[in-house]
Amino acid sequence: MFDSLVDRYDVVNDLLSLGMVRGWRRAAARAIGVPCGRLVLDMGCGTGRLTEQLAERNRVVGVDVSWAMLLAARSRLAFTDRVMLVQGSAFRLPFAEASFGGAASAFVLRNLHDLPGAFAELARVVAPSGRVALVDITEPRSRLLSRAFRAYFGTAAPALGSLVGRREAYRYLVRSLAQLPPREEVRAMLRAAGFESCSARPLIPGAVTLWTATRAKMTGDLRGRLDG
């Protein structure tokens, strides 16, 4: 599906978020806080917008299942030699254990049917003490805001989708918003996967959440828990 969206993907995202999507990615890029020059992973890099922000401080590997998205990212990032793009799945990352000083992702989590599986993969490839910063759209807790949120996405997304000839794909976007578990549950999944100091920070009143966490050092206890 993402292959078919790539042409207008960035412009629709900018319109749908009223331009705020850039700031949300920036929040993730800042929160990762990995020392300059270290290698970080952008999981589900899409057209490479978060990758580009991460590359201001770090060397970055962008991974995505969609070949078309990776081609768009390659055009965007042609100017830098700090980025490598790889086709692969979040459920089976094609990297060795502890390859990265940290990992980030933007608007990918709700597309992943097995979040614990994806988090286990992240924990495998991020080195102990490495940080992760993951941002995605979440439903606000307040009933009023939640109603406004549903009304906005339920109408604006399919309408914009129609304009670019991809109504069905943008209907999927609306459905996918409901697929992400509540933010505290996502935080608990990160902890169970082997991360500590997990936090879930709402950006604009709860409609977007930034999760951050630190890869725990591999103690015997944790190794036993993860193996079990």
Binding residues (CB under 6 A) for ligand SAM: these are 2, 25, 44-46, 49-50, 64-66, 69, 89-91, 106-108, 111-112
CB 144 to ligand SAM: min, Å: 27
φ and ψ at residue 80, rounded to 5 degrees: -115, 145
Q: Are 106 and 66 in contact (CB under 8 A)?
A: no
Give the whole-angstrom CA distance, residue 205 versus residue 141. Answer: 9
**CB closer to ligand SAM out of 153 and 216:** 153
CB 106 to ligand SAM: min, Å: 3
Cross-strand bridge partners of residue 117? none
- Residue whose C-beta lies closest to ligand SAM: 46
**CB closer to ligand SAM out of 84 and 196:** 84
CB 219 to ligand SAM: min, Å: 29
**CB closer to ligand SAM out of 110 and 187:** 110
**CB closer to ligand SAM out of 39 and 90:** 90
Give the whole-angstrom CA distance, residue 87 versus residue 76. Answer: 16
**CB closer to ligand SAM out of 50 and 216:** 50
CB 20 to ligand SAM: min, Å: 12
Q: Are 169 and 1 in contact (CB under 8 A)?
A: yes
List Cα–Cα distances, 78 to 70, 71, 81, 139, 181, in angstroms.
12, 10, 8, 36, 36
CB 173 to ligand SAM: min, Å: 8
Q: Which helix (H) or strand (E) holds 210?
A: strand 208-215
Amino acid type, 172? Y
